[in-house]
Amino acid sequence: MKKVLFGITSLGFGGAERVLVDITNRLSNEYEITIFTIYSNGEMEKQLNKNVNLKSLINKKYEDLSKLEKIIIPIKIMLFKNNIYKKRIKQDYNVEIAFLEGPITRLFSIKNNNAKKIAWIHNDISKVFGSGIKAKIKKKIDKKIYKSYNKLIFVSNDNKAKFEEIYNISNEKQVIYNYINIENVIKKANEKTEINFEKNTVNILTVSRLVHQKAIDRLINVHAELISKGLTHKIYIIGDGPEKEDLTKLIKDKNVEKTFILLGKKENPYPYIKKADCFALLSYFEGYPMVLLEAQILQKYILITDTAARETLRNYENCKIVENNKEGIYNGLYDIITNIEKTNINSSKYNNEDIIEKIRKVIEE
């Protein structure tokens, strides 16, 4: 039985984290699987099968770190990755897979002739680190990092193309769409929610981390403008993150506390998705968002900005893709509020077994 090591920042709530849990649970009877996280105690750890091993570098949740620790730990990983790898990771694994961009990819890049090295890229690499001097330094360092991997996996063709624009490297590359446990989504969607959406208004839901990438502040401003013009609707956000305090203040400043609601983290977001009239993901940039696949399975009308996420909707008709600016979002929401039809639609066709077979081949090659 082959030994496979997956690495990720943590197993807190998130799309890549959900994908990794589903993949490892699905393959845990075929391979000896270990997940290595930088930060421990993520909410999704308890969803792992008992035969998936779990190790962590830091015995704390990221959210529980001090501001200084949040700065120092990634720097230590970058500067002392050789020592950390040898002491905490290097064993007799056949395959080592860095499952997310950033510190874990740098840490897993250390040469090990006994292990096949794979990096899994989930985001638009041209935007994920921003555009300042710090971002330029990271890009220069990461070009060398990515060169050390035997193979690079991308979750969308768009992400692969953007990566190739930034890093002109000849590594073997492949696109594998995200795997999702359909039966689990449907089962959990039938559980009860803490709130019931109002029937006499349009209820729009987003599931995302409260970070700059997701453009929640832009959405609040557009929402407030629509409300001021008498277009009644409510927007609910499931998720948490570093921008929570600023977003809460903006909601109060715009006087939309009753119509723009931050629900916080939810271990099971699926009943909320199922009950909403529309699922929206109006980010500045995206990879191949799991949550859009989940919304399709639950037969939701979907509104997104024009990002790499469009690839998730390639076979889905009940959706709208708008320009990635305030005007595009305003027009998209206006159209939904005034015209949305609350009808059932056919669920998306999603080939799980084809994706799992591709992952098996990557491991076995």
Yes or no: domain 3-179+352-364 corresponds to CATH 3.40.50.2000: yes
Residue numbers in the chain where pLDDT is lower than 70: 128-131, 134-135, 341-351
Tell me what pLDDT residue 128 has: 65
- Rounded to two decimals, the pTM is 0.81
Tell me what pLDDT residue 133 has: 76
Tell me what pLDDT residue 341 has: 62
Task: For 60-85, give one letter per residue: b (16+ CB within 10 A) or e.
Answer: bebeeeeeeeeeebeeebeeebeebb
Beginning with the edge strand found earlier in the chain, give each strand of the sheet holding 95-98 in spatial order.
Answer: 53-58, 32-39, 3-8, 95-98, 116-121, 151-154, 172-175
DSSP for 304-341, written as a single string: EESSGGGGGGTT--SEEEE-SSHHHHHHHHHHHHHH--
Q: Cβ neighbours of residue 57 under 8 Å, at least 6 residues apart?
A: 36, 37, 38, 39, 77, 84, 88
CA contacts within 13 A on the Cβ side of 167: 25
Between the CA of residue 24 and those of 5, 80, 91, 179, 189, what are the distances in Å?
Answer: 10, 28, 19, 11, 22
Tell me what pLDDT residue 343 has: 43
Alpha helix locations (H) across the chain? 15-27, 67-79, 81-88, 103-107, 133-147, 157-166, 182-189, 216-228, 244-253, 270-275, 290-297, 326-339, 352-364
Q: How far apart are CA 210 and CA 37, in angstroms?
A: 21
What does the block give as tokens for 109? Answer: 């890049």
CB of 42 closer than 8 Å to CB of 133: no
Long-range contacts of 164-172 (CB under 8 A, 24+ apart): 165/126, 166/125, 166/126, 166/139, 167/125, 167/139, 167/142, 167/143, 169/143, 171/146, 171/147
Between the CA of residue 58 and those of 50, 185, 214, what are the distances in Å?
Answer: 21, 31, 27
Tell me what pLDDT residue 188 has: 93
Q: Give the closest residue to 241 by CA, choosing from 271, 216, 267.
A: 216
* Residue spans per domain, the chain: 3-179+352-364, 183-339
Tell me what pLDDT residue 59 has: 93
As its CATH architecture, domain 183-339 has 3-Layer(aba) Sandwich (3.40)
What does the block give as tokens for 98? Answer: 């860095």
